Amino acid sequence: MSNTIYNIIEKEFNNWDPESLLCSGANIDPYKSEINEIANDLETIENVFQLSKKIKYVFEKDFHLQYEQNDCFIVAENIWENLHEKNK
Alpha helices of 42-87 — where are they, by DSSP H? 48-63, 69-86
What pLDDT, in 10s, does the model give residues 16-59? Answer: 999 988 877 777 789 999 999 999 999 999 999 999 999 999 99
Instruction: Look at the chain and count its residues.
Output: 88
Report pTM: 0.90
Question: How far is the C-alpha of 26 from the C-alpha of 23, rounded, in Å?
Answer: 7
Q: Are 5 and 39 in contact (CB under 8 A)?
A: yes
Question: How far is the C-alpha of 74 from the C-alpha of 72, rounded, in Å?
Answer: 6
What pLDDT, in 10s, does the model give residues 73-86? Answer: 999 999 999 998 85
Question: How far is the C-alpha of 17 from the C-alpha of 47, rounded, in Å?
Answer: 23
